[in-house]
Structure 1
Amino acid sequence: MGHRVSTKAAVCVVFVAANFMAIMDTTIVNVALPSIGRDFVVDPSGLSSVNVGYMVALAVSIPVSGWLGNHFGTRSTALTALLLFTVASGLCATAGSLETLTAYRVLQGVGGGLLAPVGMTMMLRAFPVTERLRAQQYVMLPTAIAPALGPVLGGWLVDTASWHWVFLVNLPVGLLALCFGLGALPDFPGESAPRLDTAGFVLAGGGLAAILYALTGAPDRGWGSGAVVVPLVVGAVFLAALVPWELRAKHPMIDLRVLGDELFRTTQLVLLPTGAAFMGVLYLYPQFLQADLGYDAFHSGLATFPEALGMLTATQIVPRLHDRVGPRRLMIGGGAGAAVIIVVLAILTVTPQPLALYPATYLLGASVGLLFASAQNAAFVTIPASRTADATTLLNMQRQTAGAFGVALAGTLAASLAGTGGASAYRIAFFTMAALCLSASLLALRVSDRRVREAYGAAEPRPGPGKVLGRTAGP
């Protein structure tokens, strides 16, 4: 198979399939929790371990992903993670108790935490700078579709079959991707990794896990609860201690010097509030539809799906606008557009217009997609291939933290303000998410289009007739 499939195609297929499963798993299981609780005779408040176990394992495995990819090779690491995630999915479907399901979810989290950063590292090493925007048309598929498809598919599977199928659905995708990868996926060796930086692993993995644990439980337990404050403080201390340790370490697990790259650092600052707002809205919007408009889980998922179509549209537009408009303006426009649309959603919570909700969510997805696609491309244009593993690890740590914070903030606002009236609580929460998007738009003012153009110019001979910067003109 290997001689018939190009390196770039092989990486795209495996990465998209694997990342799709890992991202969708964060939303599809939520729909099945009530059914799982009934089967295991567990109160809904006791089901949090199903998601917390997954999130904590994800947090622990992300920081070590770069070292594993460099030490064992990206091919071996990616395929092992894919195998672990697929096997764990099958085991989850066979679980006979909450304890065993939680244990299997931890295994899933380990596999899922390795898949995204290692897969992204392979993408960056397979595609030169001038081809990455086109590659993002495929790479963004999981980010765009998976979070919105999860509730729709999960609701349908639970209603028509059983909760077991929200895990079984991963098996055909995982097995096909694994078989394809075994035959076609090449290796992309990085810098040698002599030995594991154990202290760095404990500080990074433990710190991120503690913070995600705290954020996951904050809406239910309250921000003042000891079960939230203690892990939040411990996690912050661990991550603060990580910085001087890694900067002094001879062989750091994560080379934090990559943050010295101004373009990478700035784009991460832009993506942080955007990711928080995006995941916060994806959490709030179905809750509003179900609580105030009477939608069931399946139909609220369908009403959310236009967001995915909007993001897909944006990924097709960005490569055409990138050279003409520049990533800076695309990020500013995407963040500002998302803020405006979220304000519209906030207004619609007062006077609901179901027909207006669909185009609004589509435009939200398109706006966020403009920012995501532009920022993720700009983030890596000045990062050398030898440091892509460190950069992708940091990006995925930022992404998980941002998403967890956005959901925690949105859930806390909606719950704490519930006494003021459902619509009022959702409106204030939506306004907060809009403010986050606006802050991302303002941070994008610091992005330098000149640096991006210089990186493209260094990666490709000066454009001549029939070419534009970064790609060949024409279809």
Structure 2
Amino acid sequence: MPTPDRTVPPRRGLNPKVAVGAVFVAALFMTIMDTTIVNVALPSIGRQFATDPAGVGVVNVGYLLALAVFVPLSGWLADRIGTRPVFLGALALFTVASLLCGAADSLTQLTLYRILQGAAGGLLTPVGMTMLFHAFPQQERMRATRILMLPTAVAPALGPVLGGWLVDGWSWHWVFIVNAPVGIAALVFGLLFLPDFRTGHAGRFDAAGFLLSATGFGLAMYALSEGAGQGWGSARILLPAVLGVLALVALVVVELRRPEPLLDLRLFGDRLFRSVNLLSLSSGAAFLGMLYLFPLLMQDALGMDALHSGLMVFPEAIGVMIASQLSGLLYPRVGPRRILIAGCTVVAGCLALMATITPESNLWAVRGLLFVTGFAMSHVFMPSQTAAFATVPARSTGAASTLYNAQRQLGAALGVAVLGTVLTALGTVSTNAAGTPVANLAAYRTAFLVAAALALVAAAISFSVRDSDAAATMRPAPGGPSEPAPEAPGRAPASL
């Protein structure tokens, strides 16, 4: 018989909102930055281990596969064991794995330790988001979403900058070791102050769901991450892609028939949750695809090194952080629908304008364009993350967080795969009239237009979002900031 939802405070008292926010921001910053900082170090890693660029890519592939396998498991573990032990265990594993990566003396060792990092990262983000939404009641969800803006905005842009500086000034080992101080500090703080949220609704372990999700998501992530480089018609890509799709189809059939599934796909029957997830998938593919594409353009067409191309992207992070304050003020008054429509449309326009960048472009104008892109994208990030869980019962927060983070990972991989395929198909190098190899700007132009089209798809989906569905996240609590707003009839309480 399931136990009632409850919160177990730590021995040392601290506001759960402060404790959860501090630890989650630190962990999320570390994991998000890790996905971009390592890309800068791959050439140096390849040189040390005498491996070509294609071979050294296994370092990232192993991480992504482990991430895809463990994200679906996170919700069940948090419900079964509690959010605190799962989160702190994953944080400790990620920190130790980072140190092991920094000490690796072979490509095989480095790949194995990256798999451990990916396993920990697959648990950290969804469980951390579950804690955050348990700590903050419905009417304070926008405040919770603001907390996520620092790591979400700054980490992807800071990764290439910090990675370039560490690799050039020290060695590639430091792009992993740099995680240790952040991880240790967050772990100690969490052990002292982090509360534990227990739902008691885990049920029996769904072994079939886990095997099918691990196979489906793992093979799909592999195909998406490697397809552009190896060719979509290659047997090494085509076979995993087909098997992954079949496993995911089987996963849907099996999970919809189980009374206690590992992945509660019935949550997609909720109109608002479904719409926001589709919107996030498409907009995330556009935005994260751009973050992959833009540095390549700066280095290929403008001849910048990794450090300076990373600095060119940084105004995007500034735009996100500034807009997060404005978006938080607009959301309760305007609602998510119009903000999402405007944000996705402006992002699409900015990505289309990036297709016009040439070596003769004014770099300050380009930086301004990146700033506006980040400013507009903040009006997608914040409303979507806030509204996504508005109609999800409290006992299903862990399951909803698992699904939300799974689509975010797939969206990121999808964006890179689609835009990478465009570049590969058209070729990044052409020859001028004198027969000299030059950057093929037409390939980049097409890729940016494809990214703009993905953002327009997100804008179209935004029209299906109804402000009335997200009403619980728009109104202040009737008795003050600490008193929960009344729930819709028949729904579980919004917070524990």
Provide the TM-score with structure 1 as the length reference. Answer: 0.95
Tell me what 2:307 maps to: 298
Q: 1:233-267 CA deviation, whole Å, 9 max, x = no partner?
A: 11111111111211111321121111111111110
Give the whole-Å Cα distance in 2 for the aligned partners of 1:385 and 1:453: 16
Tell me what 1:440 maps to: 458
Contact 2:139 2:472 in 1 (8 A): no
Q: Which residue identity does 1:20 align to in structure 2?
A: F
Tell me what 2:38 maps to: 29
1:12–1:44 Cα change, 3 Å: same
Q: Which residue identity does 1:359 align to in structure 2?
A: G
1:348 aligns with 2:357: yes
1:453 aligns with 2:462: no
- SS at 2:199 equivalent: coil
Give the whole-Å Cα distance in 2 for the aligned partners of 1:136 and 1:80: 24
Of 443, 448, 463, the match for 1:430:
448
1:35–1:281 Cα change, 3 Å: same
Instruction: Give the CA deviation at 1:310.
Output: 1.0
Contact 1:289 1:295 in 2 (8 A): yes
1:436–1:6 Cα change, 3 Å: same
Q: Which residue identity does 1:69 align to in structure 2?
A: A
Q: List gaps (5 residues or longer) in structure 1.
A: 470-475
Contact 1:338 1:437 in 2 (8 A): yes
Give the whole-Å Cα distance in 1 for the aligned partners of 2:13 and 2:262: 36
Tell me what 1:259 maps to: 268
Q: Which structure has the highest helix share of the two?
A: 1
Of 69, 77, 80, the match for 1:68:
77
Of 144, 150, 173, the match for 2:159:
150
Instruction: Give the CA deviation at 1:415.
Output: 2.1
Of 79, 87, 102, the match for 1:93:
102
Q: Which residue identity does 1:274 align to in structure 2?
A: S
Give the whole-Å Cα distance in 1 for the aligned partners of 2:479 and 2:276: 26
Q: 1:220-240 CA deviation, whole Å, 9 max, x = no partner?
A: 111111111111111111111
Tell me what 2:29 maps to: 20
1:433–1:64 Cα change, 3 Å: same
Contact 2:199 2:395 in 1 (8 A): yes
Q: 1:264-284 CA deviation, whole Å, 9 max, x = no partner?
A: 111011111100011110011
Give the whole-Å Cα distance in 2 for the aligned partners of 1:454 and 1:188: 22
Moved more, 311-320 or 411-420: 411-420
Tell me what 1:117 maps to: 126
Q: List gaps (5 residues or longer) in structure 2.
A: 1-9, 431-438, 487-496
1:57 aligns with 2:66: yes
Instruction: Give the CA deviation at 1:65.
Output: 0.3
1:314 aligns with 2:331: no
Give the whole-Å Cα distance in 2 for the aligned partners of 1:2 and 1:439: 48
Instruction: Give the CA deviation at 1:314.
Output: 2.0
1:382 aligns with 2:391: yes
- Equivalent pairs counted in the alignment come to 465
Q: 1:180-229 CA deviation, whole Å, 9 max, x = no partner?
A: 00000000002332331000001112101100000110111111111111
Give the whole-Å Cα distance in 2 for the aligned partners of 1:27 and 1:280: 12
Contact 2:386 2:473 in 1 (8 A): no
Contact 2:73 2:262 in 1 (8 A): yes
1:397 aligns with 2:414: no
Contact 1:335 1:367 in 2 (8 A): yes
Tell me what 1:473 maps to: none
Q: 1:78-128 CA deviation, whole Å, 9 max, x = no partner?
A: 000000000000000110100000000000000001000000000011100
1:325 aligns with 2:334: yes
Q: 1:121-175 CA deviation, whole Å, 9 max, x = no partner?
A: 0001110011110122111211111111110000000011000000000000000
Q: 1:349-386 CA deviation, whole Å, 9 max, x = no partner?
A: 37522121101001111111101111111111111110
- SS at 2:356 equivalent: helix
Give the whole-Å Cα distance in 1 for the aligned partners of 2:41 and 2:118: 18
1:161 aligns with 2:161: no
Moved more, 42-51 or 446-455: 446-455
Contact 1:311 1:368 in 2 (8 A): yes
- SS at 1:446 equivalent: coil
- SS at 1:188 equivalent: strand
Contact 2:332 2:473 in 1 (8 A): no
Instruction: Give the CA deviation at 1:462.
Output: 8.7
- SS at 1:347 equivalent: coil
Contact 2:201 2:395 in 1 (8 A): no
Query: Structure 1 vs Structure 2: percent identity of aligned residues?
Result: 51
- SS at 1:451 equivalent: coil
Give the whole-Å Cα distance in 1 for the aligned partners of 2:280 and 2:359: 30
- SS at 2:140 equivalent: helix
Give the whole-Å Cα distance in 2 for the aligned partners of 1:10 and 1:297: 36
RMSD: 1.8
Contact 1:7 1:185 in 2 (8 A): yes
Tell me what 1:472 maps to: none
- SS at 2:198 equivalent: coil
Contact 1:381 1:456 in 2 (8 A): no
- SS at 2:155 equivalent: helix
Tell me what 1:368 maps to: 377
1:127-142 superposed matches below 5 A: 127-142=136-151
- SS at 1:449 equivalent: coil
Instruction: Give the CA deviation at 1:463.
Output: 9.3
Moved more, 426-435 or 253-262: 253-262
1:2–1:131 Cα change, 3 Å: farther
Contact 1:149 1:301 in 2 (8 A): yes
Contact 1:258 1:391 in 2 (8 A): yes
Contact 1:66 1:117 in 2 (8 A): yes
Tell me what 1:172 maps to: 181
- SS at 1:113 equivalent: helix
Q: Which residue identity does 2:253 align to in structure 1?
A: P
Contact 1:350 1:424 in 2 (8 A): no
Instruction: Give the CA deviation at 1:424.
Output: 0.7
Instruction: Give the CA deviation at 1:13.
Output: 0.8
Tell me what 1:284 maps to: 293
Give the whole-Å Cα distance in 2 for the aligned partners of 1:343 and 1:250: 46
- SS at 1:450 equivalent: coil
Moved more, 261-270 or 191-200: 191-200
Give the whole-Å Cα distance in 2 for the aligned partners of 1:195 and 1:308: 42
